Amino acid sequence: MEKQGNLMPGEIPLELMEKWGDHFFLWEEISPQAKKILGSDKFLLLLRKGDGLAPLASPGFPSSMIPEKVDEESLLKLAGERGIISGRDWKRFSPEEAPGAVVLYSLKLRDWQPGYLLVFYRKETVVDPERANPLVMAISYLLALFLLRQELARRTEDLSLLLKAANVIGSQLELDQTLDMILNSLASVAGVYTAAILIVDEGQNALRIRAQRGYFSEVTQIVIPLDKGITGRAATTGIIQVVNDVKSDPDYIKGAPGTVCEMAIPLKAEGRVIGVLDIESNQEGFFDAERQSLIVSLADQISLALYNSILYERTREMAITDYLTGLFNRRHFLELAQREVFRDERFGHPLCLAMIDIDHFKEYNDRYGHLSGDQALKDLAWKMKANCRKIDILARFGGEEFVILMPETDLQGGLTLASRLREIVQMELPITVSIGVASMEKGGSLSLEELLKRADLALYQAKEGGRNRVVAFKQD
């Protein structure tokens, strides 16, 4: 983290640690998502205090496993390169050994390293250390954000509005709510009523407007290449752009009525531009030195809050999607499907479900290797997305098994989609699939469990019948 006046966080102040106690804000923000992603709600923070590391445990953490003192060198040596400590070895630090593996993550934000996060797993849990990386980064940013807020409280009275704005902006992890709060804060702090927040789309090498106030409504659909416009210039150079007369700037792109001047501030995190805060005004001389200072100071908080929200959005997406294929995972599919079954039953709509299984997938993996197997799973998921409607619910149900729930679709419609998908897979991929289809017809009543059971029976018949085929469930 770059030093900004006296805002560079050092060790965690003792008085703040005492204040956090059992109500530490990280547990409230992170724990629910972490439990979904990692399958564990037992965490321990080791934060720097003086020359040592002070433990701060999540709610419900067994007190018998909390160490009184931890030697950092011994901790790192025991964790090794993979960062995993066995439950038995944990007893070197605490009176009681851990039930399963303990994974060590270093909390780091550029040159700032406030301590470590320890995640305690159950014995039967398969540990994948890399899955927690976005979570660890989010915790580092939340720690930094919290400390920066504390430092802001010591600023002069002229900057008190900035502190209030930062508290409001950082109080939400939901990206859309964060952006709304940012726009509200700009109005209250700096008198800004025409503003837009653009986020860098690295895949398209462009800026996309995610939130705006005061612009033409069609502006939200605009994609601005990074080599275009005043905002593109800010994103590319990483330098604040202040244009007091937009008519004299050839890069100006009209976005709001009667604009006279524009200010574009690059929003940075981890040393790169993640977005641009764009402000326009129809008042001459609007961006005087005082207002620029206020906006730039607020932009520091906006950058942290924006990046934090982006990380949270990615973390939440990880909790509901399959990491390999990008489709919904089984748990989230069942939640969505249950609601859809209730809705279609209530309104008397038909509903169809297809269960898909890759034929002889184990043999395919054994012959071509697991990397090729993973690619086959991703390719199948892509074909499913490309051939289904937006209202269809797609998921990886487990292993090589997938499901498609088709709202307002009868059995014939489901069979048509399933047959088309089977043919496309056979022609375009090095695999084949068997598909079982079941439906709840118009005006019918069927539980989700029964619908899945019927589709599974039909899938079993497709396999027994020779595979690479579509079979519809038929009531005996």
Closest CA to 198 of 243, 248, 264, 148: 264
Model confidence over 113-122: pLDDT tens digits? 888 888 888 8
Strands 195-201 and 351-358: unpaired
Position 148 pLDDT exceeds 80: no
- Say if CB 47 and CB 142 are below 8 A apart: no
From the number of C-beta atoms within 10 Å of its C-beta (0-12, 13-18, 19+), residue 292 rates as: middle
- Say if CB 397 and CB 325 are below 8 A apart: no
Q: What is the pLDDT of residue 24?
A: 57
Q: Are residues 113 and 184 in the same domain?
A: no
Q: Are residues 340 and 451 in the same domain?
A: yes
Q: Are residues 302 and 340 in the same domain?
A: no
Query: Does 372 fall in a domain?
Result: yes
Domain count, the chain: 3
Q: What is the pLDDT of residue 182?
A: 75
Write a three-state SS string for the chain. Answer: CCCCCCCCCCCCCHHHHHHHHHHCHHHHHHHHHHHHHHCCCCEEEEEEECCEEEEEECCCCCHHHCCCCECHHHHHHHHCCCCEECCCHHHHCCCCCCCCCEEEEEEEECCEEEEEEEEECCCCCCCCHHHHHHHHHHHHHHHHHHHHHHHHCCCCHHHHHHHHHHHHHCCCCCHHHHHHHHHHHHHHHHCCCCEEEEEEECCCCEEEEEEEECCCHHHHHCEEECCCHHHHHHHHHCCCEEECCHHHCCCCCCCCCCCCEEEEEEEEECCEEEEEEEEEECCCCCCCHHHHHHHHHHHHHHHHHHHHHHHHHHHHHHHHECCCCCCECHHHHHHHHHHHHHHHHHHCCCEEEEEEEECCHHHHHHHHCHHHHHHHHHHHHHHHHHHCCCCCEEEEEECCEEEEEEECCCHHHHHHHHHHHHHHHHHHCCCCEEEEEEEECCCCCCCHHHHHHHHHHHHHHHHHCCCCCEEECCCC
Residue 422 tokens read as 């089977």
Q: Are residues 262 and 280 in the same domain?
A: yes
Q: What is the CATH number of the domain that holds 377?
A: 3.30.70.270
Q: What is the pLDDT of residue 128?
A: 74
Position 1 pLDDT exceeds 50: no
Position 156 pLDDT exceeds 50: no
Least confident of 124-138, 227-241, 261-275: 124-138
The greatest distance separating any two alpha carbons of the chain, rounded to the nearest whole angstrom, comes to 80
Q: Are residues 183 and 270 in the same domain?
A: yes
More confident residue, 431 or 65: 431
Position 13 pLDDT exceeds 70: no
Cα–Cα distance, 385 to 208 (Å, whole number): 23
Q: Label residue 292 by pLDDT band (50, 70, 90).
A: confident
Query: Does 425 fall in a domain?
Result: yes
More confident residue, 112 or 335: 335
Position 420 pLDDT exceeds 90: yes
Q: Are residues 309 and 380 in the same domain?
A: no
Q: What is the pLDDT of residue 314?
A: 67
Query: Does 211 fall in a domain?
Result: yes
Query: Does 201 fall in a domain?
Result: yes
What pTM did the predictor assign?
A: 0.44
Q: Are residues 280 and 369 in the same domain?
A: no
Q: Are residues 365 and 312 in the same domain?
A: no
Q: Are residues 288 and 437 in the same domain?
A: no
Q: Quote the domain boundaries for residue 211.
A: 157-318
Query: Does 92 fall in a domain?
Result: yes
Domain boundary among 148, 181, 210: 148
From the number of C-beta atoms within 10 Å of its C-beta (0-12, 13-18, 19+), residue 25 rates as: middle
Query: Does 325 fall in a domain?
Result: no
Query: Does 8 fall in a domain?
Result: no
Q: Are residues 163 and 302 in the same domain?
A: yes
Least confident of 147-156, 232-241, 444-453: 147-156
Q: Are residues 351 and 466 in the same domain?
A: yes
Q: What is the CATH number of the domain that holds 40?
A: 3.30.450.40
Position 20 pLDDT exceeds 60: no
Q: What is the mean pLDDT of residues 21-33?
A: 61
Q: Are residues 211 and 340 in the same domain?
A: no
